[in-house]
């Protein structure tokens, strides 16, 4: 039933119950603010609540991928180095019970509109069920993957089988056993689904447009004794994580340029990173892998040698790991894999290269490409997300003069410090565009970036201020700073969601700030200089 609470003015409303929203709720409440959290789903967890496709698993390792608060890890152990979705959901339930969060969360509440009222210096926020609240400060914690991207595929409606996007997986699940399964998309979600579908399906067809450069996960399963023992290193790991450029306590690149390091030392460093698994081979080899084409090529060639050794058919190998890299290594997110390259040796698994034989249409029985028809029972769309800005587009944000955020960002994102937006006072977003986000990870960003917002609100309260505005000049300078700082990055050379280039029509730009420590230094400097770039009243 629709409800309205005009007399209640919250200090802060947090939108989104993933790591960032949860941390804000906990910390702001702890500091005595009146705060509530609205979550569209029925439980906390963010992407771990919403993404329930088979094989969903985090590819940032624990304990880095968790909150550093001791009351949370004291009575919690992880069973694996890269936990799956169910364990992450249990973790959120644990966080909820230790920090007592749910009492301040309104679940099943999808925010649809938020309008700034300048007379009152407050936001009016409306949800899909007709509920309205007023809040002094609005803190969107929408994550970068809250809006799925489904490409327009000709004939999609005609397909008579089951078709599911990985982010909208049916709660009752999909049994792949004995089915003819097709997977479109080979990013992190595609890789994970393929690994689950290959052993079960009668036939699996993987439709690849661009090969993923997947890295060895090097998963570890821990017995109860090991789980406890590992905790003795947690406090130190979290301290190091807070000082790390990569946002991982133990992923650190050699300060030399890869090309300057002679063999066999260079290969030994590559090999060590490979054996450590996860993102070590992406961010923990040499400092110039993502800026020097020559060093990048060395990393690619090493990666390729590892992959070729796993694939029997040279034709398939050439598609999964081409001799010439189609984009610089690591410029698209390198998913982690456990059996991905092995499954292509199975007789029931087929790889279709959509660059070579483009998709023509979906029809009643399956997918037709320029050279063949693939009949399917189940089609999995692992086609990703309208990263970062998609979640904002889904809400009708209206700032000063009734200007919508969709209009303000129609030609590209404008922010100050990746947290504030000129023309949208009293709005401080976390884990959004122009901040480290995809180059950090949820829990780490939640704490490091989140503390800045907590301190900012404390400062405003101490000053008796009711309004904070980011200036246009500061936002323009922030954009210039990002452009100058990362102009030589090879990230620009791939059509990735980092570059907002995975969704047709989206303005191409570097969406995230690829250096957490540099970013945090800029934020601290702003606060230390009296919140330079903001107008406070
Ligand atoms: P990604 O990484 O964006 O991957 C999407 C995949 O879907 C990618 O391989 C795309 O190919 C493919 N794609 C997208 N549109 C099409 C069309 N029209 N035809 C064929 N193939 C297409 O999404 P994920 O969900 O895997 O991962 C997102 C992040 O979420 C992940 O990195 C984790 O951080 C969690 P392309 O490369 O664009 O050619």
Structural domain boundaries in the chain: 9-44+101-147+387-536, 180-233+253-381
Q: Is the CB of 286 under 6 A from ligand 1?
A: no
Nearest to 299 by CA among 327, 318, 337: 327
The sign of the dihedral angle between the CA atoms of 197, 202, 208, 214 is positive
Nearest CA to ligand 1 atom 27: 188
Q: Is the CB of 155 under 6 A from ligand 1?
A: no
- What's the pLDDT score for residue 7? 64
What integer best gives the mean pLDDT of the chain?
Answer: 97
Q: Is the CB of 328 under 6 A from ligand 1?
A: no
Confidence of residue 236 (pLDDT cuts 50, 70, 90): very high
Residue 51 has pLDDT above 90, yes or no: yes
CA of 333 to the centre of ligand 1 (A): 10
Cβ 443 vs Cβ 19: under 8 Å = yes
- What's the pLDDT score for residue 2? 47
Q: Is the CB of 382 under 6 A from ligand 1?
A: yes
Mean pLDDT of 120-142: 98
Q: What is the pTM of this model?
A: 0.97
Residue 219 has pLDDT above 90, yes or no: yes
Mean pLDDT of 216-220: 98
Q: Is the CB of 354 under 6 A from ligand 1?
A: yes
Confidence of residue 172 (pLDDT cuts 50, 70, 90): very high
CA of 186 to the centre of ligand 1 (A): 6
Widest CA span of the chain, in angstroms?
70
Query: What pLDDT, in 10s, does the model give residues 93-102?
Result: 999 999 999 9
Mean pLDDT of 140-166: 98
Q: Is the CB of 131 under 6 A from ligand 1?
A: no
Q: Is the CB of 167 under 6 A from ligand 1?
A: no
Give the containing element (helix H, strand E) for 526.
helix 516-528
Residue in 383, 436, 495, 508 to alter for ligand 1 test, most ligand atoms within 8 A of Cβ: 383
- What's the pLDDT score for residue 262? 98
Q: Is the CB of 210 under 6 A from ligand 1?
A: yes
Give domain 9-44+101-147+387-536's CATH architecture: 3-Layer(bba) Sandwich (3.50)
The sign of the dihedral angle between the CA atoms of 76, 81, 82, 83 is negative
Nearest CA to ligand 1 atom 24: 384
Residue in 50, 51, 384, 494 to alter for ligand 1 test, most ligand atoms within 8 A of Cβ: 384
Residue 6 has pLDDT above 60, yes or no: no
Query: What pLDDT, in 10s, does the model give residues 467-496?
Result: 999 999 999 999 999 999 999 999 999 999
Mean pLDDT of 86-114: 98
Confidence of residue 8 (pLDDT cuts 50, 70, 90): confident
Q: What angle do CA 299, 438, 440 make, to 5 degrees?
A: 85
Residue 5 has pLDDT above 70, yes or no: no
User: Ligand 1: which atom is nearest the Cα of residue 209?
Assistant: 39
CA dist., res. 111 & res. 527, Å (int): 30
Q: And the tokens for 305?
A: 């040698």
Give the containing element (helix H, strand E) for 37.
strand 35-38
Phi, psi of 108 (to 5 degrees): 50, 35
Mean pLDDT of 222-244: 97
CA of 79 to the centre of ligand 1 (A): 29
CA dist., res. 224 & res. 243, Å (int): 30
Nearest CA to ligand 1 atom 18: 151
Give the whole-number percent of the chain exceeding pLDDT 70: 99
Q: And the tokens for 465?
A: 């201020």
Q: What's the residue count for the chain?
A: 537
Cβ 257 vs Cβ 245: under 8 Å = no
Query: What pLDDT, in 10s, does the model give residues 280-326?
Result: 999 999 999 999 999 999 999 999 999 999 999 999 999 999 999 99
Alpha helices in 129-264 (DSSP H): 188-200, 224-230, 234-243
Nearest CA to ligand 1 atom 38: 502
User: Ligand 1: which atom is nearest the Cα of residue 495?
Assistant: 38
Residue 177 has pLDDT above 60, yes or no: yes
Residue 260 has pLDDT above 60, yes or no: yes
- What's the pLDDT score for residue 1? 40
Residue 516 has pLDDT above 50, yes or no: yes
CA of 315 to the centre of ligand 1 (A): 23
């Amino acid at each position: 039933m629709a409800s309205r609470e005009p007399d209640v003015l919250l200090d802060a409303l947090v939108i989104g119950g993933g790591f960032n929203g949860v941390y804000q709720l906990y910390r702001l409440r702890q500091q005595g603010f009146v705060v509530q959290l609205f979550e569209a789903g029925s439980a906390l967890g963010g992407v771990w609540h919403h993404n329930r496709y088979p094989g969903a698993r985090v590819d940032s390792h624990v304990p880095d991928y968790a909150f550093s608060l001791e009351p949370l890890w004291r009575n919690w152990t992880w069973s694996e180095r890269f936990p799956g979705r169910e364990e992450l959901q249990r973790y959120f339930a644990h966080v909820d019970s230790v920090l007592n969060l749910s009492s301040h969360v309104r679940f099943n509440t999808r925010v649809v509109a938020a309008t700034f009222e300048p007379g009152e210096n407050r936001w009016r926020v409306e949800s899909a069920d007709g509920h309205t609240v007023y809040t002094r400060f609005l803190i969107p914690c929408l994550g970068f993957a809250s809006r799925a991207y489904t490409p327009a595929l000709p004939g999609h409606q005609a397909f008579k089988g089951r078709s599911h996007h990985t982010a909208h997986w049916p709660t009752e699940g999909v049994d792949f056993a004995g089915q003819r399964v097709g997977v479109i998309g080979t990013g992190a979600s595609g890789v994970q689904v393929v690994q689950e579908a290959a052993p079960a399906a009668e036939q699996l067809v993987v439709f690849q447009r661009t090969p993923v450069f997947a890295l060895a996960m090097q998963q570890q399963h821990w017995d109860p004794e090991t789980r406890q023992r590992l905790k003795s290193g947690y406090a130190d790991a979290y301290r190091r994580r807070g000082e790390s450029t990569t946002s991982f306590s133990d992923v650190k690149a050699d300060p030399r340029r890869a090309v300057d390091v002679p063999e066999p030392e260079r290969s030994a460093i590559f090999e060590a990173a490979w054996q450590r698994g996860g993102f070590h081979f992406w961010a923990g080899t040499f400092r110039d892998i993502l800026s020097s084409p020559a060093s990048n090529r060395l990393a690619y060639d090493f990666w390729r040698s590892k992959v070729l050794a796993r694939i029997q058919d040279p034709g398939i190998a050439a598609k999964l790991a081409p001799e010439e890299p189609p984009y610089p290594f690591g410029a698209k997110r390198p998913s982690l894999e456990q059996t991905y390259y092995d499954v292509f040796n199975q007789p029931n698994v087929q790889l279709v290269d959509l660059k070579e034989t483009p998709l023509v249409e979906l029809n009643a029985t399956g997918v037709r490409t320029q050279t063949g028809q693939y009949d399917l029972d189940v089609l999995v769309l692992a086609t990703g997300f309208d990263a970062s800005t998609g979640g904002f587009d889904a809400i009708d944000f209206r700032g000063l003069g009734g200007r919508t955020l969709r209009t303000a960002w129609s030609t590209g994102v404008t922010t100050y410090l990746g947290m504030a937006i000129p023309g949208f006072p009293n709005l401080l977003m976390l884990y959004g565009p122009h901040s480290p986000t995809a180059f950090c990870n949820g829990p780490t960003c939640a704490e490091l970036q989140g503390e800045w917002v907590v301190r900012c609100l404390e400062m405003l309260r101490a000053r008796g201020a009711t309004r904070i505005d980011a200036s246009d000049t500061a936002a323009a300078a922030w954009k210039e700073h990002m452009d100058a700082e990362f102009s030589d990055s090879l990230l620009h050379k791939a059509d990735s969601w980092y570059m907002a280039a995975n969704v047709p029509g989206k303005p191409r730009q570097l969406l995230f700030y690829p250096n957490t420590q540099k970013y945090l230094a800029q934020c601290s400097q702003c606060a230390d200089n009296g919140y330079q770039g903001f107008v406070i009243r």
